[in-house]
Structures are given as C-alpha cells and as structure tokens.
A and B are shown apart, each in its own frame.
Chain A
Amino acid sequence: MEQIGIVRDIPSLEPDVVFSIAGFPIASSTLMILLITLIVALLSGLMIRRFAVKPGKFQTAIELLYEQVVGLVDQITQSRKHSERIFPIIGAMLVYLTIANLIGVIPGLTEITYEGSPIFRSPTADFNTTFGLAFAAVLVLQFVSIKDYGVLGHLGKFIKLKEVYQGFKKGISSGLVSLIDFFVGLLDIIGEIAKIVSLALRLFGNMYAGNVLMVIIFGAISVVLPAVWLGMNIFVGVLQAMVFSALVAAYYMLAVKPEAEEE
C-alpha cells in the first residue's frame, strides 16, 4: 500500500526560542501575542472612529457579538452592577483567546521560519502563555477580594481564628465543628493554587493535544481525515475560550461580598 501520509515532527512541549534580547529569550508565542494585541487594538481604534447611528454591516456584526457576550456574563453574575464591573476584562479575555486559539488554523503560517525555528505557532499551545494568563486572572481576583473585605478580612477567609473562638464560647460540640472549619479554611489556600493550575492546564491541554493529533493524523492519512479534525479543532478553540472566561467570571462572583437584598 502506498504511503498517503505526510510525516512531520511532533511539536515539542518546550517553546521555540526565536532570538534573545539582552539575555531575555523571546519565544514564538511572545511574537504572536504582540501581533494579536496590535491587530485587536488597531481594529478597535478603527471601529470607534467610524461610529454611526445607522450601523453598517461590520458594526452590526460587532454589536451582535457584544450582545452575546453581555448575555453570557449576565447569566453568570445575575446582577447588573457586577456585570458592568467585570465586562471589560471578561470580554477582552474572550476575544483575545478566540483569536489566539483560531490563529493556528490559518494555512501556511507555521512555515515562516527564522534560522530554522518556526515563528508563528499557536500561542496558547504553549504552557507559558496559559499559565501567565491564569495567574494574572487569579491575582486580580485576590485584589478584588481584598478591596471588598479588607486585608484582614480576606486573610480571615482562610485562617478562621475568629470562628474557632466564637464556637468554643458557645459550647464544646460547636467548638469542635468550628475546628473542622478551620482546617477546611486552610485547605482553601490550596484551592486557590488549584484554580490557577486547572485553568492553565485545561486550555493548554486542549490546544496542544489538538496540534499533536493533527500531526499524527497527517502522518497516517492525509486525504480527507484532517479536514474533520480541523473542524473539531475550530469548535474546541471557541469553546475553550468561552469556558475560560466564564470560569473567571464565576470565580469573581465567589470572591465578592454577597450584597444585600436591595439592588
């Protein structure tokens, strides 16, 4: 049976360093991130300059996208005030991640090499990108929580000494229950780290496994099957971007003080 596959190397886990500036290695994903940010900023600047009351086709599409994203954020926060507060960051994360996940689909982009290493790899197929984004998101959530509760109140969510004291004042059995609460509060610190790791690993795993499987399928049968897998990759890219942003919004709702019944 003749060979109908195209064999390539499996992309490695490590990022490809393109060059170094003063000892600081610049990988291909850094270049891609800068390119995406530049494109989105230019596009937004162009859009704002051309705002019209009677919208043209492009503006209608952007407004449709805006309505969908606001609907998604509203479903998670259930309150208008919080929606307006976090919509800029959640919307920006969603747009950036959708473009970053889908840019690997453009054909021929990985062939542009500089001294033998490809420049344009998909940026989220690199663990450094996703880890940085997840870490920054959780750090922002910590600051929001400190702003609502105060520094001592925020630390008091994890180290629950006050509850133990009050529990023992009420009686021995409720004191022992509050001791269990104390240990659960200490475990919450590990929960915060787990949030970072799970967010980063989910996005990285989906994108990287998509890349590797694409290379393997091309190696086996390169006639019709890669198109099916490419469709699945596009779907997974959009879905994972949505899941990342929705999860950050849900963690935000956990970190803020629950408001009183009035709106």
Chain B
Amino acid sequence: MEEMMTAPEAQVEAARLIAKGLATVSMFGSGIGEGILIGKALEAMGRNPEVSGTIFTRMIIGVALAESTAIYALVAFFLL
C-alpha cells in the first residue's frame, strides 16, 4: 500500500486532476463544428447528387482537419 500524502501534496494532486478534467471540456466545441460541417455537406449532396462522391471525400478531409483542435486538447490531457 502507498503511504498517505501530506496535505500540500494532496492539494497539488487534486488541482492536477481537476485541471485534467477541465482540459477535456474544450472538445465540446469541436463536436459542434463537425456537426455543422457534416450537415452542410449532406445538404449539398442532396442538392447535387451527381457529385456526391467528391463531396464525401472532401468532407472526410474536412472532418480530419476540424478534429485537430480536439486532438490538441487530448495531448494536453496526457501531458498533465
């Protein structure tokens, strides 16, 4: 069993865990952004069905780019 931490060390550890949790709140914006992007892509595919292959490919690349802010938050989470 590990020994109990002293009070200041426990506070630092608690603050670190709260910071870890707060770092993942920022992924919420990325979810909204991707939802808007995919919605617009589906609307464009409905208007112009013959280019839907191209639109789908561009949409996948756009989703990967919009995901990158969420990935930065994930890396910050692992670093904390």
Measured CB to CB, the residues of A under 8 A from B are: 13, 198, 201-202, 204-206, 208-209, 212, 239-240, 242-243, 246-247
Chain A residues near B74: list those with CB within 8 A.
205, 209
Using Cβ atoms and an 8 Å threshold, which residues of chain A touch B75?
Answer: 201, 204-205, 208
Q: How large is the interface on B (under 10, 10 to 19, 20 to 34, 35 or more residues)?
A: 10 to 19
**How many Å lie between the Cα of A209 and that of B74 in the bound state?**
8
B64 near A243: Cβ-Cβ < 8 Å? yes
Q: Is the CB of A246 within 8 A of B78?
A: no
For residue A204, which residues in chain B have a CB less than 8 angstroms away from its CB?
A: 75
Q: Which stretch (B34-42, B44-52, B65-73) binds chain A?
A: B65-73
Neighbouring B residues of A239 by C-beta, 8 Å? 60-61, 64
Q: Are B65 and A13 in contact (CB under 8 A)?
A: no
Residue of B whose beta carbon sits closest to that of A209: B74
Please, which residue of chain A has its CB at the minimum distance from the CB of B64?
A243
A206 neighbours in B (Cβ, 8 Å):
71
> When the two chains form the complex, which single residue of A13, A209, A212, A246 contacts B79, counting CB atoms closer than 8 Å?
A13
With A242-B61, A243-B61 in contact, is A201–B72 under 8 Å at CB?
yes
Give the nearest-CB partner of B54 in chain A.
Answer: A75
Most buried by A among B60, B61, B68, B72: B68
A247 to B61, CA, bound (A): 10
Tell me which of A205, A209, A240, A246 has the highest count of chain B C-beta atoms within 10 A of its own C-beta.
Answer: A205
